[in-house]
């Protein structure tokens, strides 16, 4: 299982902050992003979101494995 976290506008569109996806083999971040939208519907602006795996920023081509937490991080606006 991969745990997906959504925030701000993405969570609002998905109507949830947490999604879990079953994975049998390692997938890329980009593939996870596709599976996520298959499950919850299209998420506008997700292509502008950074992705963190286990709380570290990663690239779209990086691999995600069973047990990882994948966070989609829309443009931040703290401060």
Give me the residues that bind other proteins (CB under 8 A), please: 5, 7-9, 12, 45, 48, 50, 52, 55-60, 71, 73-79
66 contacts 32 by C-beta, under 8 angstroms:
no
Round to whole Å and give the CA distance between 18 and 61. Answer: 22
Residue placing its CB nearer to other proteins in the complex, 13 or 22: 13
* Residue 24 Cβ vs other proteins, minimum distance, rounded to whole Å: 26
Q: Element (H or E) spanning 27, and its range?
A: strand 27-28
* Residue 48 Cβ vs other proteins, minimum distance, rounded to whole Å: 4
């Amino acid at each position: 299982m991969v745990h997906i976290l959504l925030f701000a506008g993405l969570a609002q569109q998905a109507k949830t902050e947490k999604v879990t996806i079953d994975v049998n083999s390692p997938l890329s971040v980009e593939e996870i992003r596709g599976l996520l939208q298959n499950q919850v519907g299209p998420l506008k602006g997700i292509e502008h979101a950074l992705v963190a795996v286990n709380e570290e920023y990663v690239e779209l081509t990086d691999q995600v494995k069973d047990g990882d937490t994948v966070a989609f991080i829309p443009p931040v606006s703290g401060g």
